Chains A and B, each alone.
Chain A
Amino acid sequence: MAEIKLANITKRWGSFVGVQSFDLTIEDKEFLVLLGPSGCGKTTTMRMIAGLEDPTEGEIHIGDRVVNDLDPKDRDVAMVFQSYGLYPNMDVYENIRFPLKVRKVEGDHDAMVRRAAEMVELTEFLHRKPAALSGGQRQRVALARAIVRQPQVFLMDEPLSNLDAKLRVSTRAQLKNLSHELQVTTIYVTHDQIEAMTLADRVVVMEKGIVQQVGTPTEIYDNPANTFVASFIGSPAMNLMEGQIEGGVFRCDHVEIGGLDTAHSGPAILGFRAEDAAVAPDGAGQITAPIYSLELLGDAVMVTVRTGGALVAVKADKDYRANIGDPVSFSVPASICHLFDQGSGERLAR
C-alpha cells in the first residue's frame, strides 16, 4: 500500500523524447489507467516505475522512498506483462511461487500459492506447464504471480491485449473485482479506451510523450481538454467540425448552431457526441445535409452526413430508416457542444 509520486520525469533516447515532464501523484489504493495510442510513452512511464528503464530526469517516489536508484526487485512492485512473461520450464504452481521463493518470503508458501490460484480460478491447472494453457489461463497465471506476494504496487502492461474479444470482457470484469478486493495501488497501461473507462479511478491520456489530460473517466468523457482527447475517447469518436464563430453562432457547410455561450469569434472547432444529438423531424435541426451512410447497430442506427471535409455521425432511434442521399436534419443544441481552438486544439474557455 503506497502512494506513488512522479516528479517531473522525462525519458529521452538521444533526441527522441519518450516521455516529457510527467508530473503526477497517484494516491494509495488508486486504480490509475495510462491511456494513449501506441508509442505515446505510457509503457515507458510504467517501465520507469518498475525500474526496467531509468528516467533521464525527475524523481520517482514509492511510499516515502525515492526509488530512482533501486533495482526492480527492491521496489516492492509486481508486474503483469503484455505477453505474460511466464517461465516456460516451470509449471503453474512453480510460476506463482517463484516470487516467494526468490525473495525467501516467510510463511506457508503452499497456502499462499493456493489462495492466489483460487482468486483467479486456476486451482485445477496448478501442475500444468504454461505451454499447455490457453491465453486466458496464462493471463491469469501472470495475475496470480503478481498478487501472491501482496506488493505495494501492481503494474499491468496491456494485460488483456492478447486475449480475444469475448475473453477480454470477462477478464476485465474479473480484474475490476480483483482490484476492489485487494485494495492495492494499481497502474494499468492500455490503448483501449473502454478498458480505461471501465477500470479506472482516474485516467491519464497521453500522446507523443505528453500528458493530455488527467481526470476521472466521466470528466475525460464529458469535458475533454482538447481535440485529441475528444477524438480518442468514446466510440464512435466525438464529431469534430471546423468552422467560424461569430456572435455565438457556429457556421460551416450545412451547419448553423446558435446560442453558443462563448466570447470567441473567428475560426474554431465544434465537437459533439453522436449519442447526445438526435435526428430532427422536418429539417428543423441545426445540421441539414444528404445522408452519406446508414449503419444498423442493433440498439441504434448510426446516421452519417458529410459537412465540409468531416463526417458527422448521429445515433438515431433503432427503427429509423432512410435511403442514402435522402436529406436529413440533426438537432444539435448548444448545450451538448464542445468548442476547441482551431490552431492548438485546446478547449476554448466559456
Chain B
Amino acid sequence: MSQAKVFQASTGLKVTVAVFLLFWLVVAAFPLFWVLVMSFKLPVDAFSASPLAVITGPETLAEKGGISILDMLLGAVAFYLVYQAVSHWTRGVAERVGFGFTPIGWILGSLIMGAAGLFVFVIILPIVTGAVNWAFGLIPGLSLLAQPVIGITLDHYIAVWFENEFYRNFLNSMTVTAGVVLISLTVGTLAGYGLARTPSSLAFWLLIMALIFRALPHSVLVTGYLPPFINSREILEPFLGDAAPTLYGQPLAVIVVLVSINQPFTIWMLRSFFQNIPAELDEAARVDGCGHFEAFWRVIMPVMWPGVITTGLFSFLLAYNDYLVTALLLDAQNQTMVPAITQYFNRETTTTDQVEAVAAAVSITAPLFLLVMVFQRQIVSGLTAGAVKG
C-alpha cells in the first residue's frame, strides 16, 4: 500500500505492536486451542506431562486411530469454505426463506446454514478424506501423507451428548436463550422507540430506574426470586387451583428472571439506536398515510435491524452464558449447558470426567462461533452505528 511517509509507523513501533498482538493472541486464544485439542484425546494423552504428547496423542493414535496430514489440510479447506459461505450467503438465504418477514428469515437462514455446515463436516468431509487418503495411499512416495499421524477420538463427545444426555441441557439452553432474546427484543424495541420519541419527562425517570436495576448484582435479583419460585405452588393455588405450578426448576420460569436482568440494558441500547434515526422519518411516514404503529413497523424497523441484531446478540450471550441464575433456579435434571458442566467436577472426578467436561465446554462454544460468523457484518455495522456498547 502506498502511504505518505509521515503516516508510516516506525520499525520500533511495528515490532512493539506485533509483539503485543502476539502476546494477546497467546493469552486469549491458547486456552481455547488447548481445550479443543484435549477434548479429542484419551485421558492418558490429555493429561500427559509432555505438551507434544497432548497435541499428537500417541496413545490415542495407537488405540483409537487418528487423522493424516491430508485430513488436516482438507479440514482446513472445508472450514474456510464453510466460513466464507456462511458469512456471504446467509443474508441471501435469509431474504429468500423469510416470507418477506426479516426476523423469521434470519432465524431460518441461520438454522439452514448451520445444518448445511454440519452436513459438510459430518457427511461430506469424511467421504472426501476417505477417498483422498485411499488414493494417496496407493502412490508409493506420497502414502506417508495419508498415514494417520495425530491421535483423535470422538469418544468423549459421544459420551457427553448421548450417555450423559447433554442434548437435554442443550435444549434447555435453547429454550431459555430463545425466550430471553424474544421477550427482551420485543419489549426492548417497543420501549426503546417510545422512550426515544416521547417528549415526556417521565421517560428520563424510567431510564434512570432502568439504570439502577441494571446496576444491581444479579445475585440480589435471584435471591429475591428464589423463595417465591420454591413456594409458587402455595402462592398460586388460590388462583389456579390444582394447576398451580412449581416454578423452581422450570426453564420457562428462568426466562422471566433473565429478562428482568437483561431488559434495562436492551432498553437503553435500543433507545440509543432509535435516537440515531431522525424523527423526520416517522413524521414523513405519518403524513404519507401510516398510523403510529405502522410508521414504526414499516419505516423505522427496517432501518433498525443492525441495532436489533446487535442487541439481540448481547441478550443471547447473557442468557446463553448465564451461570448464576440458571444454577440457582434450576434443579440438576433440568440444567442448561453452562451449569451442567459443573456436574463433572466433584469429589470422585476421574480424568475421564475431566476430559468429558472439556468436550462439553467445546460443545458450548461451537454455536457461538456459528452465531458470530452469521452475524458478523450486522454486528460490526451495529457497533459502529454509535450505540451504547455492552
Name A's B-contacting residues (CB within 8 A).
50-52, 71-73, 77-79, 81-89, 98-99, 102-103, 145, 155
Contacts and interface: CB of A to CB of B under 8 A. Distances in A.
A85 B280 contact: yes
A284 B299 CA distance: 69
Nearest to B301: A89
Contact of A73 (B289, B298, B299): B289
Nearest to A79: B287
B284 A81 contact: yes
Contacts of A79: 283-284, 287
B288 A99 contact: yes
Contacts of B289: 73, 99, 102-103
A52 B288 contact: no
B91 to A, nearest CB: 14
Contacts of A86: 284
Given A83-B278, A102-B294, A89 B287 contact: no
B115 interface: no
B306 to A, nearest CB: 11
18 contacts: A50-B287, A51-B286, A52-B286, A52-B287, A72-B283, A73-B289, A78-B287, A78-B288, A79-B284, A81-B280, A81-B283, A81-B284, A83-B280, A85-B283, A87-B299, A87-B303, A98-B288, A102-B289
B291 A145 contact: no
Nearest to B286: A72
Main secondary structure, interface of A, reads mixed
A321 B59 CA distance: 105
A86 B281 CA distance: 7
B288 A73 contact: yes
B302 interface: yes
A61 B45 CA distance: 86
Contacts of B278: 83, 85
A150 B287 CA distance: 13
A73 B303 contact: no
Interface string B262-301: 0000000000000000101101111111110010001100
Contact of B290 (A51, A78, A82, A102): A102
A89 B280 contact: no
A87 B281 contact: yes
A73 B286 contact: yes
Interface string B345-386: 000000000000000000000000000000000000000000
Interface residues of B, number: 17
A225 B93 CA distance: 67
Nearest to A100: B289
A85 B279 CA distance: 9
A102 B287 contact: no
A52 B278 CA distance: 15
Interface string B314-342: 00000000000000000000000000000
B303 A72 contact: no
A85 B286 contact: no
Interface string B236-261: 00000000000000000000000000
B298 A102 contact: yes
Contacts of B284: 79, 81, 85-87
A83 B279 CA distance: 11
A85 B281 contact: yes
B339 to A, nearest CB: 41
A86 B303 CA distance: 12
Given A85-B281, A87-B299, A72 B287 contact: yes
B286 A71 contact: yes
* Of listed B278, B284, B285, B291, residue having the most chain A CB within 10 A: B284
A89 B306 CA distance: 12
Nearest to A80: B284
Contacts of B288: 73, 78, 98-99, 102-103, 145
Contacts of A145: 288
B303 A88 contact: yes
A311 to B, nearest CB: 40
A94 B51 CA distance: 62
A14 B254 CA distance: 46
Complex A-B, nearest 9 residue pairs according to Cβ-Cβ distance, in ascending order? A85-B284, A102-B289, A85-B280, A103-B289, A99-B288, A89-B302, A72-B286, A79-B287, A73-B289
A88 B281 CA distance: 9
A88 B284 CA distance: 12
Given A83-B278, A85-B280, A87-B281, A73 B287 contact: yes
Nearest to A99: B288
B296 to A, nearest CB: 13
A71 B302 CA distance: 23
A152 B303 CA distance: 30
A52 B280 CA distance: 10
Interface string B207-242: 000000000000000000000000000000000000
Contacts of A98: 285, 288
Contacts of A85: 278, 280-281, 283-284
Contacts of B303: 87-89
Contacts of B280: 81-85
* Residue from A79, A82, A86 having most chain B Cβ neighbours under 10 A: A79
Nearest to B299: A87
A222 B166 CA distance: 88
A130 to B, nearest CB: 11
A77 B286 CA distance: 10
Contacts of A84: 280
Contacts of A89: 302-303
B295 to A, nearest CB: 9
A73 B298 CA distance: 15
Contacts of A52: 283, 286-287
Nearest to B298: A102
Nearest to A50: B287
Most buried by A among B281, B286, B288, B302: B288
A10 to B, nearest CB: 18
B287 A77 contact: yes
A71 B291 contact: yes
A235 B289 CA distance: 40
A82 B280 CA distance: 9
Most buried by B among A82, A86, A89: A89
B31 to A, nearest CB: 42
A73 B290 contact: yes
A327 B298 CA distance: 69
Nearest to B305: A89
B278 to A, nearest CB: 7
Nearest to B294: A102
B95 to A, nearest CB: 13
A87 B284 CA distance: 9
B148 to A, nearest CB: 53
